[in-house]
């Protein structure tokens, strides 16, 4: 099938384009996520097991959030500035395959950070995990639910610098004012309401539900929400790329 062939060749092309920097970017991302695990431990001082689980699983979730809402739009903004996006648009290839190819490459970069976050949490805090096979469903859904929005930001933003500034706000939100690194009850009611409208909170809840035995998780609700975000964000991203093409 042509879409599958397009996806294969575009993914290969994207990996080859990053071959000189792929390992370096992956190592930097791993260090970034490990810094979350260790750094927040220093911030809180005497860390309970529940807090350690929130820090560790939240850091693993942030690898996915950063991939979809930060790295992906920055990569696309750079491609847009360099003219590579216009080149892809000139080819007789599926626009959706191009988007999925970029998401696949970003996923390859962030996956080591997820594993290292769990290992770092175990080494730093001596915690154990209650891993469910459903985590294999949650991880791609968490990535996809953020990716479409990141693509739309990159395509619609008139300047690469503006895209980069917006993505920095995403990092701030995910770390400090969303229920990713902390329980939702710790946030004021306004921020709790905002978290219901964005995918990071659902991604973090689903990750906690499939990696820990922490109470007050809502796996079914989070899975439904992430599926909805995934369908809507990818449909919106595809529409944006086609209309701007």
pLDDT 10s digits, 116-172:
999 999 999 999 999 999 999 999 888 888 887 787 788 778 888 898 888 888 888
Query: What is d(CA 166, CA 154) in angstroms, rounded to the nearest whole number?
Result: 10
Angle between helices 49-66 and 135-156 (to 10 degrees): 50
Higher pLDDT, 151 or 10: 10
Query: What is d(CA 36, CA 190) in angstroms, rounded to the nearest whole number?
Result: 25
Structure tokens given for 238: 């595809």
pLDDT at residue 60 is higher than 90: yes
For residue 51, the number of C-alpha atoms closer than 13 Å in the C-beta half-sphere is: 13
CA distances from 64 to 33, 45, 67, 94, 235 (A): 10, 26, 5, 25, 20
Q: Tell me which residue has tokens 């080819």.
A: 91
Query: What is d(CA 154, CA 177) in angstroms, rounded to the nearest whole number?
Result: 23
Instruction: List CB contacts of 234: < 8 A, sequence separation 6 or more.
Output: 96, 99, 144, 147, 148
Helix residue ranges per DSSP H, 67-94 = 72-82, 84-90
pLDDT at residue 205 is higher than 60: yes
Q: Quick one: pLDDT at residue 16?
A: 85
CB 62 within 8 A of CB 36: yes
pLDDT at residue 222 is higher than 90: yes
Query: What is d(CA 96, CA 142) in angstroms, rounded to the nearest whole number?
Result: 19
Mean pLDDT over each residue of the chain, to the nearest integer: 86
Structure tokens given for 1: 């099938």
Q: Tell me which residue has tokens 């920055």.
A: 74
Q: Quick one: pLDDT at residue 202?
A: 94
pLDDT at residue 100 is higher than 80: yes
Q: How far is CA 169 from the centre of its chain?
A: 14
DSSP state, residue 149: H
Please give the average per-residue pLDDT across 58-87, as a whole number.
87
Angle between helices 95-125 and 49-66 (to 10 degrees): 160
Residue 57 pLDDT grade (very low, low, confident, very high; cuts 50, 70, 90): very high
Q: Quick one: pLDDT at residue 147?
A: 81
Helix residue ranges per DSSP H, the chain = 2-17, 22-44, 49-66, 72-82, 84-90, 95-125, 135-156, 160-176, 189-195, 199-211, 219-244
Cα R_g (the chain), whole angstroms: 18
Q: Quick one: pLDDT at residue 243?
A: 61
Q: Quick one: pLDDT at residue 47?
A: 86
Query: What is d(CA 15, CA 108) in angstroms, rounded to the nearest whole number?
Result: 9
The model's pLDDT over 16-56, given as tens digits with 9 standing for 90+, comes to 887 777 788 888 888 888 888 988 888 777 889 999 999 99
């Amino acid at each position: 099938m042509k879409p599958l062939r397009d996806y294969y060749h575009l993914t290969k092309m994207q990996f080859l384009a990053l071959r000189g920097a792929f390992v370096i970017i992956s190592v930097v991302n791993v260090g970034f996520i490990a810094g979350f695990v260790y750094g927040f431990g220093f911030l809180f001082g005497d860390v309970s097991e529940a807090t350690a689980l929130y820090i560790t699983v939240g850091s693993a979730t942030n690898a996915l959030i950063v991939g979809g809402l930060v790295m992906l739009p920055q990569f696309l903004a750079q491609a847009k500035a360099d003219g590579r996006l216009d080149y892809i648009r000139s080819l007789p290839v599926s626009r959706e395959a191009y988007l999925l190819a970029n998401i696949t490459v970003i996923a390859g970069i962030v996956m080591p950070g997820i594993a290292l976050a769990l290992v770092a949490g175990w080494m730093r805090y001596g915690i154990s995990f209650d891993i469910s096979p459903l985590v294999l469903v949650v991880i791609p859904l968490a990535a996809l639910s953020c990716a479409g929005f990141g693509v739309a930001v990159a395509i619609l933003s008139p300047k690469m610098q503006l895209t980069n500034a917006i993505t920095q706000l995403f990092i701030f939100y995910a770390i400090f004012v969303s229920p990713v690194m902390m329980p939702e009850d710790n946030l004021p009611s306004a921020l709790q309401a905002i978290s219901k409208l964005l995918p990071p909170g659902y991604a973090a809840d689903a990750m906690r539900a499939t990696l820990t035995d922490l109470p007050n998780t809502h796996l079914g609700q989070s899975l439904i929400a992430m599926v909805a975000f995934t369908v809507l964000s990818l449909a919106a991203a595809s529409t944006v790329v086609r209309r701007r093409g």
